[in-house]
Amino acid sequence: MVLHLRGVVLPGEESRDLWISEGRIGFEPVSGAETVVDGGYLVPGLVDAHCHPGIGVGGPTTLEEAVKQAEVSRDSGTLLIRDCGVPIDIRPLQQRGDLPRIIRAGRHLALSRRYIPGLGIELEDPEQLPDAVAVQAAEGDGWVKLVGDWIDRSAGDLAPLWPDDVLVEAISVAHEAGARVTAHVFGESALPGLIDAGIDCLEHGTGLGSDQLAELARGRVALVPTLINIENFPGIAEKATKFPTYAAHMRALHAGVGPMVAAAIEAGVEVYAGTDAGGLVEHGRIVDEIEALHAAGMTRTQALGSASWAAREWLGHPGIVEGAPADLLVYATDPREDLGVLRHPSHLILRGELLPR
């Protein structure tokens, strides 16, 4: 079936006609098309840039559970997921035409006893990291995920996992393989080594300071702050009674995350929306993250772009342009005026197919 849509194509202001044929977008009329939209706002499918289909409250899920998680994300408007570390093989989800497109990052790379058990590949020696990165770069879809810091029980606080020289070698290995590297990082002490080694993206980044934000902006290092997940920090601190320094640190990072993100936006850092769904965060909350970014200082248009056209450009997936895959949402009113509109698309089109609402 050929579909015809007419509406304002975001991020622009112009009302346009487009046709969807063989799963692709075109702007030239196609005979026999069925008009399914006549008016409204056409938005490139939403992007969750930090999502874990395959992780649940109890750790790794079954493949069947991962499918259900991806369906929840899809129904929230998320049509593109950057998996940010998954402990199971979710390649079968990529073969499903009814699920969001997924960019896989493979498994988290961590050290033994320095991350959530069962989720990552736990290395015994930091010197093993470059070889492990090479494997994950080959296994994934252009991304590798490192655990940059975690609680060190012997120190009683967050601490880096990797020596600086090992990070330099490991990130170089990934870049030579054509992959980008991102890292989980909460605190301050791991940041200099990651940034100096040429990291491509930081997840959370709650400890970032103004000088480092300027470095990120100059080097076009992306930040995915996962604001709705950071809301869990006080609860994590409350349970960390054996580690009072760590607990106080987590509370301080939580208190400072709003100003940090505001400063990142002001500094020109490329900030994208990611929910960290899986574990402590339910799937399907991308609109909550968009609203949180707006509350932190983004304009509504910027916040929407961070989870739509801008995020797609960053990840190499086009928006609503000639010849692009037809992954888009339709809204009756302009979501740039009211982000809550994003919770109620009138139409959801994935791979050129109109999905039931």
Look at residue 356 in the predicted model and tell me its pLDDT: 82
- 3-state SS, 65-96, equals HHHHHHHHHHHCCEEEEEECCCCCCCHHHHCC
Read off the pLDDT of residues 290-337 as tens digits, 9 standing for 90 and up. Answer: 999 999 999 999 999 999 999 999 999 999 999 999 999 999 999 999
C-alpha–C-alpha distance, residues 165 and 188, integer Å: 18
Q: Is 184 exposed, middle or buried (0-12, 13-18, 19+ CB in 10 A)?
A: buried
- CATH number among 2.40.50.140, 2.60.40.420, 3.40.1110.10, 2.30.40.10, domain 3-43+319-355: 2.30.40.10
Nearest to 14 by CA among 36, 37, 33, 41: 41
Look at residue 106 in the predicted model and tell me its pLDDT: 86
Please give the torsion angle defined by the CA atoms of residues 267, 270, 275 and 277, in that order, rounded to the nearest 10 degrees.
-130
pTM: 0.97
pLDDT surpassing 90 at residue 161: yes
Radius of gyration of the chain (CA): 20
Helix, strand and coil in the chain, % to nearest 5: 35, 25, 40
Q: Higher model confidence: residue 33 or residue 1? A: 33
Q: Which CATH superfamily is domain 46-315 in?
A: Metal-dependent hydrolases (3.20.20.140)
E strand segments, 193-321: 201-204, 222-224
For the four alpha carbons of 241, 242, 248 and 253, in that order, the dihedral sign comes to negative
pLDDT surpassing 80 at residue 357: no
Amino acid letter, residue 344: H
Q: Where in the chain is the domain with CATH 3.20.20.140?
A: 46-315
Nearest to 311 by CA among 282, 258, 272, 265: 272
Nearest to 80 by CA among 301, 245, 315, 323: 315
pLDDT surpassing 90 at residue 1: no
pLDDT grade for 81, boundaries at 50, 70 and 90: very high
Quote the mean pLDDT of the chain: 97
